[in-house]
Amino acid sequence: MKKIIAITIIISVVIFLVSCQGISNKIRAVGYNGSARGKEQTGDYKGAIADYDSAIKLYPEYTVAISNRGHAKFNLGEFKESIVDYNKAVEISPQEAGIYSNRGLAYYKMGDTIKALDDYNKAIILDSNFDYAFSNRGEVEFDQRKYKLAIKDLDRAIAINKYNATAYINRAYCERKMGDTIKAEKDFAEARKCSSRKDSATIK
């Protein structure tokens, strides 16, 4: 009986220590993720990726770090590699709209508009107020010369976030193609105002 109690205590201690180690790893992973974000802001994407690697090694299912690493790779022009990270992030967190939107943009940069639109649509289904997804989808529709459809999406993006400079720019291009240069110039002017703000929007 005493042996059974002793074994039970040992097992409990081991489980507790493993749990503590897991918590410690997650805290350290968050630290690496924060460091990586700081490096991204200075344009040090390779340094950021190294920190994301460290975070993910400590916490393999850290969706934020995996997705952020994909974004850093995207900024280096490594679109195919970024999609690999976004795919992994989607597997772990299939309800995160931002991951689909980011992956859609990577597909778009690779020329795969079908997959890009599919991801933007998924992002919008998950979050109907996600202005970046509407803005990005509008850009694809512009390329397809579906200007009225694109403007509808860009109108929605701006209604959600009036500081989304990208949406104004894309809508201006649509308006210019449709021959409405006055509206186009107004939208370009709004985009410049948004870009001067610290919280101005960019495609994500």
Question: 112 and 179 share a domain?
Answer: yes
Question: 50 and 72 share a domain?
Answer: yes
Number of structural domains the chain divides into: 2
**Token representation of residue 48:** 């950021």
| Domain's final residue, options 67, 94, 121 | 94
In percent, how much of the chain has pLDDT > 70? Answer: 85
5 pLDDT exceeds 60? no
Contact 103, 123 (CB under 8 A): no
Mean per-residue pLDDT of the chain: 88
Does residue 54 belong to any structural domain of this protein?
A: yes
Which is higher by pLDDT, 19 or 61? Answer: 61
Question: 71 and 138 share a domain?
Answer: no
| pLDDT single digits (tens) 69-88 | 999 999 999 999 999 999 99
Does residue 99 belong to any structural domain of this protein?
A: no
Question: 73 and 108 share a domain?
Answer: no
Does residue 111 belong to any structural domain of this protein?
A: yes
Question: 74 and 50 share a domain?
Answer: yes
Containing domain of residue 45, as a range?
1-94
Question: 34 and 5 share a domain?
Answer: yes
8 pLDDT exceeds 90? no
11 pLDDT exceeds 80? no
Contact 3, 14 (CB under 8 A): no
Question: 117 and 63 share a domain?
Answer: no
**What is the CB-side half-sphere exposure of residue 198 using CA atoms within 13 A?**
1
Question: 121 and 199 share a domain?
Answer: yes
Does residue 126 belong to any structural domain of this protein?
A: yes
CATH number of the domain enclosing 48: 1.25.40.10
| Domain's final residue, options 60, 94, 128 | 94
